[in-house]
Every structure is written in structure tokens, then in C-alpha cells.
Amino acid sequence: MTNESFEALLQENRTFSASDDFKKKAAIKDPGIYQTAANDRLKFWESFANDLHWFQPWDATLEWNIPLAASAAAWARQRKARQRVEHPSGLHIMGL
């Protein structure tokens, strides 16, 4: 396989619409949510985080320090594999 034909495989331009039943059951039905997120992604996610209970309010909406980011990514992979996980905070969590 040439590089050119391989690159062609990476092009995907199709779109798939959700069924009416799926749309009816959606938690968020406002198509404007995409523009809201594009305008200010941190404010967008912070608004959802505010709906959760926090024992202590956060100081920054996004903190992406490499050691913490790498351990968070590893934690997510382990959780996905349905293994017992030790979160960087020391919590022991069973995957769903």
C-alpha cells in the first residue's frame, strides 16, 4: 500500500444523523450548544461542573500538568478495562 492510498483511507467526510428516538432522549436538545462550547470551552465545561457536588471548590477550571495528565490518562485506560484502579488521589475505584 502506498502512502497516497493510505492517506486516502484517513479521509472521512460522511455524516450520520441521530434517529428521532435518540434525539428525543437526549439530555441536551439545543443545537446551539456547539457554538456555546466553541465560544469559551472552559466556561462551557465549568457550567456542567457546577451541577456536581464538590467538597471543595476548584481554583482553576483546567489544570493540565504533564505528570497529572499522564496519570489521569492511565487511570482512564485502567477504568475502561474494568480493573480495580488506584486514582492519583489515592482513591480505590472499581470500573463500571
**Secondary structure of 42-85 in the HEC alphabet?**
HHHHHHHHCCCCCCCCCCCCCCCCHHHHHHHHHHHHHHHCCCEE
Per-residue model confidence as pLDDT tens for the chain (96 residues): 666 777 777 888 888 888 999 988 988 888 898 899 999 988 998 888 888 888 888 777 776 666 666 676 776 776 666 555 555 555 555 544
Same domain assignment for residues 40 and 72: no
- Report the pLDDT value the prediction gives residue 39, as an integer from 0 to 100: 94
Q: Which cell numbers in the block locate residue 73?
A: 490518562
Summarised one tens digit per residue, pLDDT across range 43-62 is 998 888 888 888 888 777 77
Same domain assignment for residues 49 and 72: no
Q: Which cell numbers in the block locate residue 68?
A: 497529572
Same domain assignment for residues 74 and 40: no
Residue type for position 13: N
Asked if residue 4 is part of any domain, the answer here is no
Distance of CA 51 to the CA centre of its chain: 16
Overall domain count for the chain: 2
Asked if residue 20 is part of any domain, the answer here is yes
